Amino acid sequence: MNKQASNTPGGAPSHEWTRRGFVAMAAAGVTSIAASVPAVAQPQTGSTANAAPEPGASLLQVTKHTPQLWRITVRNPPFNLVVPELVSALHALVLELERDPSVRVVVFDSMVEGYFINHFDLAKAKDFPVLPGTPAMSTWTDLVLRLSKLPVVSIASVRGRTRGGGNEFALACDLRYASIEKAFFGQPEVGTGILPGGGGTERLPRLAGRDRALEVILSSQDYGGADAERLGMVTRALPDAELDAFVDALSQRLASFDKQALAGAKAQVNRATLPPDGDLHAAYAEYSQSLAWPGFQAQRPRMGQLAAQHGPAELERRLGHYIGQSKQLK
């Protein structure tokens, strides 16, 4: 892993800033964006994709089409929120991909209708895993850093809402293909009074440019697949009916190539494009500290009002829209 150092605004080394951030996060006693919202009701659909998993069921379904080509399907209904268990499962999977000498391509998709990978579940923020050792390091940051540097080509096949940590996970993948009709992307943190912390502020400017990255991050709006392609957030947006066939054909093509050549070319591009590791560590610490900011504490009841008024499922479906409305509530 790249050991580049980065200093934080106060001049403290990034690892010390990270340690303080974890302490602040634990002390904040944070709750979810829609704080005080009752337990979310399961969507009433005829599909089993949105049914709650059985206790102990895996949040990831791993399908090895061939030794060279894997597909990882995320399943945490009803909204595919990023929870501590999902972070640990994804991290373990990436470590397995690092060790496996055969795998060349991995495709990430979702089993939950309407959602790819969604934002962090802030009700569980203080429980997000930290890697053992000194200095403290968030498992999430290690996950997305390793994902970007894997000697494996990672592809995100995106249908549904992909916000916050989910969008940052997609940005850490090498290639992102989105449904024009059904994919939505966003970084909702600023609109709720906190900071992004999973890599979005480091990766988006390199992909979209400074001003477009600022628009996405500061506005906290949702962007459809076509707009995400225009902004440079995804590699390509395709009609929904064509997405699976395109991703399947490309992943099979790449999996037929020599692994050393694939990994070597990726490493060359990484050398020119990846942000320093220390910047991601600092961002996660700053996000952790922002959970205790007064602005976030003031925003929580407003989002709770919206959830009570419209229902948690509707709030989650149009989160970017309702974040803008929350400021108007008294």
Q: Is the pLDDT of residue 15 over 90?
A: no
Look at 133 and 28; give whichever has higher pLDDT: 133
| Structure confidence by residue, pLDDT tens digits, 203-233 | 999 999 999 999 999 999 999 999 999 999 9
pLDDT of residue 39: 28
272 exposure class (CB count in 10 Å sphere: 0-12, 13-18, 19+): exposed
pTM across the whole model: 0.84
Instruction: For residue 312, report the phi and psi dihedrals to the nearest 5 degrees.
Output: -60, -35
The C-alpha angle 297, 299, 305, rounded to 5 degrees, equals 120
pLDDT of residue 326: 64
Q: How far are the Cα atoms of 196, 259, 298, 319 from residue 327, in angstroms, in the given order?
A: 19, 51, 10, 13
- Whether residue 41 contacts residue 312, with contact meaning beta carbons closer than 8 Å, is answered with yes
| Structure confidence by residue, pLDDT tens digits, 115-124 | 999 999 999 9
pLDDT of residue 328: 54
- Mean pLDDT on 125-145: 92
In angstroms and rounded to an integer, the radius of gyration of the C-alpha atoms of the chain is 19
Which residues neighbour 77 within 8 Å (Cβ) at sequence distance 6 or greater?
Answer: 42, 49, 50, 51, 52, 53, 112
| Cα–Cα distance for residue pair 213/103, rounded to 1 Å | 33
Secondary structure of 44-59 as H, E, C letters: CCCCHHHCCCCCCCCC
273's tokens? 């494009």
- At 327, the pLDDT band (50, 70, 90 cuts) reads low
| Structure confidence by residue, pLDDT tens digits, 24-60 | 443 444 433 332 222 223 333 333 345 545 544 599 9
- Mean pLDDT on 70-99: 97
- Whether residue 86 contacts residue 119, with contact meaning beta carbons closer than 8 Å, is answered with no
Helix (H) or strand (E) holding 70: strand 69-74
pLDDT of residue 9: 33
Query: What does pLDDT average to over the chain?
Result: 85
Residue 316's SS3 state is helix
